[in-house]
Each structure stands twice: as structure tokens, then as C-alpha cells.
């Protein structure tokens, strides 16, 4: 096995979550050294079947690329938590665990006798992270939530799209992934505070809250100016020029963030007269006159080579880049240089973007097959071979997914 050099080596995580936000969070913890035990329900993590593509030719039990992309560096155990014996297994695992993470419907863990209040009495150092759709309180408290629904409800979709398209959701599950990232942040905050107090604590990260947290700059624009976002395609509501432009070869994005960058960009584009144009002299003016500026620049860009101009902009210190397809991103020399694709035993995945100086991330285990680590995890928890056989016979521990 690859050496564990991560900053979280020695930290144990019991992961009861499924789908995206929770598994993404625990993969981050696992990449950086935590021992993550993924506990799956009898029918498995739903995302095992979210394909094609699948890992092999076993059909929807493959598992899917979706599952594989967010479940490495974990050990897998399968439990039917409706059975008391299975819940006792979780309690055994928690005896030396630092973190529990779950995303069941609110009230489920309480019904099983595993609320934070109950667990904290037995495991006072435990950090309990709950992921939910809307949190436990408020008019929508306890309601279920999925990423696209929350993109609509938190205003993200209202700020995405063009007049022609109308509001659209983002092309990636940003709310789920932001929820996962905030879960990791909360867990690390709790670990840090535990060094002082010696006590764990409960934390909750709701998709609704996470969606609102990334509504920048539109949330601020409304709070300070009651401005409602307009559908402006790839443009920026507060900056100009900050947009995608079609060239004679391929689209490139030009992102001008200050007046100095504007001067450099206009010089490179061969239109220095725009630098002193009263309409475009500062960002406020460029923003107010964005339609005129965009029309002028679009005509200039249409005659240029996209990749060539993007390179010139970058070399001059002006943020710009080509519109790449996913295949181009994953095979780009910069992606390779940054080590952003990891591989092991036929597995391929996107690496953690966090580059630590001493405590390096590592790919130690590939995503677990259903229940693949049942015996090893149970034996570590003190179960004998006879005990394990009984748990399997009772259906509390599963070796194959139920349909």
C-alpha cells in the first residue's frame, strides 16, 4: 500500500453518507490521510448506478464513473442499519473514531438511537457532521433537497444563462460540491477547537445555506443596491470587459479586473485609442457602456487567432484563456504538470487541488466495491470470525447489494 503521508493520518472517519456532498467531503479527508470507513446501505450508494460509463461490463452494478470519481481512499462496509446488530457495529466503529458524517433524512439517526445528543454522551470527543437539504429548522427544515433544486431555490439559476436561454442551472453540481467543501472546513474547525477543549461537537451544513453562500456577487449587489441580476451570458455583472469572445479559430475568455489590465489588453488588440475613450476610462464607465465596448471588441476578436491571443494576454499579465472541452482539460500539459490526474491499478481520478508542502496527499486505495472490507473492518472492531458469520446470516452485514 502507498505510504500515508497526509496531514490527517491517524484521524478516523465513519462515513454514513451517500450520493455527492458527503462522499466528496470524505474523499478529501481520505486523500489527506484520514482512515475513512464508508458504510453503505443494502442497496448501495445510489451513485453506483449513475451511468454509463461504468468501470467494467457488469452493467449498472459496475460501478459508475460517478461513484468512482468521489469514493477513493475509503474502505467499504455494507450494513442494514434498520437492524439493531448493524447499529451496534456502527457504535463499535465509533469507539475510536474522530468524525461521523451522515446525510440521512433528519430524524432518521434519532429514530435509530444515534442522535448527536445520545452519541456525545458515550463519545464526548466525537465530531458529528450532518449534511441536509435545508437544515433542521425554518419553514423548510427537514425537507429533502437535491443540487439542481437548490440551484433554483437559492437564486443561482436566476443569474445563469442569457436572454435567449432563460435561467439555467450550472453545468456542474456546484451546490453539492460546495456543501462538501464546507463540511470539510467545518470538520477541520471542530478538530482544531477540540485541541483546546478536548470535546467534539455537532455541525450541520445545509445545501440551502451553501447555495446562498456562493451567490456572490449577486447577494452583495442586492444587499447594498437592491440590484437583481440580469441574464448576461458569460459576462460579469460588475466588470467589463469580462466575457467570452469568438475568434476566427475558437472562443477565448478575456477577464479584465482593473484599469492596468484594460490598457494592456487594448494595446495587444491593436486598439489603444479605447484606453483614453471617456466611455471606457475606468471600470464604472466600461460597465455602464458594456454593450458598446463588447460590440467593438467582438469585431476585433473575430479576426484573430484564439490560442495565439490567449497566450499573448497571459504573457502580458492579462487573465485570458481558451474555451476548452473536458478532454482537452484532462490531457492538458498544465493538468499533467499540476498532478491533477491520479491513477492506480486501473483507476483514474481527479486529484485533490490542495498541495501541501510536507504532508502530501496520496492515492492509497481505489474506490471500494460493495462490502469489500467487511471482514477487515469488523475484525479491527473486535468481532470474531464467528461473530462476523452471525452478522452476515442475520442480514445486518451484507456481501451483495439488494435490488
Nearby residues of 309 by Cβ (< 8 Å), 6 or more positions away: 247, 252, 268, 269, 301, 320
DSSP state of 227: P
Rounded-to-integer distance, Cα 402 and Cα 371, Å: 12
The residues annotated as belonging to the active site are 176
Rounded-to-integer distance, Cα 278 and Cα 81, Å: 68
Among 81, 63, 66, 1, which Cα is nearest to 35's? 1
**Residue 337 half-sphere exposure toward CB, CA atoms < 13 A:** 3
Contact by Cβ (8 Å): 207, 179: yes
Rounded-to-integer distance, Cα 314 and Cα 306, Å: 12
Strands 347-350 and 341-344: antiparallel
Nearby residues of 264 by Cβ (< 8 Å), 6 or more positions away: 316, 317, 318
In order of 11, 43, 229, 250, 256, the CA distances from 247 in angstroms are 51, 50, 27, 5, 17
Among 160, 157, 139, which Cα is nearest to 148's? 157
Rounded-to-integer distance, Cα 182 and Cα 176, Å: 10
Rounded-to-integer distance, Cα 189 and Cα 248, Å: 50
What are 335's three cell numbers?
Answer: 493538468
Rounded-to-integer distance, Cα 346 and Cα 348, Å: 7
- Measured at the CA of 208, the angle between CA 207 and CA 210, to 5 degrees, comes to 60
Tell me, rounded to whole angstroms, the distance of Cα 399 from its chain centroid: 29
Amino acid at each position: 500500500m502507498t505510504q500515508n503521508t497526509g496531514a490527517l493520518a491517524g484521524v478516523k472517519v465513519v462515513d454514513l453518507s451517500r450520493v455527492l456532498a458527503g462522499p466528496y467531503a470524505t474523499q478529501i479527508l481520505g486523500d489527506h490521510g484520514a482512515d475513512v470507513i464508508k458504510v453503505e446501505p443494502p442497496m448501495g450508494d445510489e451513485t453506483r448506478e449513475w451511468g454509463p460509463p461504468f468501470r467494467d461490463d457488469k452493467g449498472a452494478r459496475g460501478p459508475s464513473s460517478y461513484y468512482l470519481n468521489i469514493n477513493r481512499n475509503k474502505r467499504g462496509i455494507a450494513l442494514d442499519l434498520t437492524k439493531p446488530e448493524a447499529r451496534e457495529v456502527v457504535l463499535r466503529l465509533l469507539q475510536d473514531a474522530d468524525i461521523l458524517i451522515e446525510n440521512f433524512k433528519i430524524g432518521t439517526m434519532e429514530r435509530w438511537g444515534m442522535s448527536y445528543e445520545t452519541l456525545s454522551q458515550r463519545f464526548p470527543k466525537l465530531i458529528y457532521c450532518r449534511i441536509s437539504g435545508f437544515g433542521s429548522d425554518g419553514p423548510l427544515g427537514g425537507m429533502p433537497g437535491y443540487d439542481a433544486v437548490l440551484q433554483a431555490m437559492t437564486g443561482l439559476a436566476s443569474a445563469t444563462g442569457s436572454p435567449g436561454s432563460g435561467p439555467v442551472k450550472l453545468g456542474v453540481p456546484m451546490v453539492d460540491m460546495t456543501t462538501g467543501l464546507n463540511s470539510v472546513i467545518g470538520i477541520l474547525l471542530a478538530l482544531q477547537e477540540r485541541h483546546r477543549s478536548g470535546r467534539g461537537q455537532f455541525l450541520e451544513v445545509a445545501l440551502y445555506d451553501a447555495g446562498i453562500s456562493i451567490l456572490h456577487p449577486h447577494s452583495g449587489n442586492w444587499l447594498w443596491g437592491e440590484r437583481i441580476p440580469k441574464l448576461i451570458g458569460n459576462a460579469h455583472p460588475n466588470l467589463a470587459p469580462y466575457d467570452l469572445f469568438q475568434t476566427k479559430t475558437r472562443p477565448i475568455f478575456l477577464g479584465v479586473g482593473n484599469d492596468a489590465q484594460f490598457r494592456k489588453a487594448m494595446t495587444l488588440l491593436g486598439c489603444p485609442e479605447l484606453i483614453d475613450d471617456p466611455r471606457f476610462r475606468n471600470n464604472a464607465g466600461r460597465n455602464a457602456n458594456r454593450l458598446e465596448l463588447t460590440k467593438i471588441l467582438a469585431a476585433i476578436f473575430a479576426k484573430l487567432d484564439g490560442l495565439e491571443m490567449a497566450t499573448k494576454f497571459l504573457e502580458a499579465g492579462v487573465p485570458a484563456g481558451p474555451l476548452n472541452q473536458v478532454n482537452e482539460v484532462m490531457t492538458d500539459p498544465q493538468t499533467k504538470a499540476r498532478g491533477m490526474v491520479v491513477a492506480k491499478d486501473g483507476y483514474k481520478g481527479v486529484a485533490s487541488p490542495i498541495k501541501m508542502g510536507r504532508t502530501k496527499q496520496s492515492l492509497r486505495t481505489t474506490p471500494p466495491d460493495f462490502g469489500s472490507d467487511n471482514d477487515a473492518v469488523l475484525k479491527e472492531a473486535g468481532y470474531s470470525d464467528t461473530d462476523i458469520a452471525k452478522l452476515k446470516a442475520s442480514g445486518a452485514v451484507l456481501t451483495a447489494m439488494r435490488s
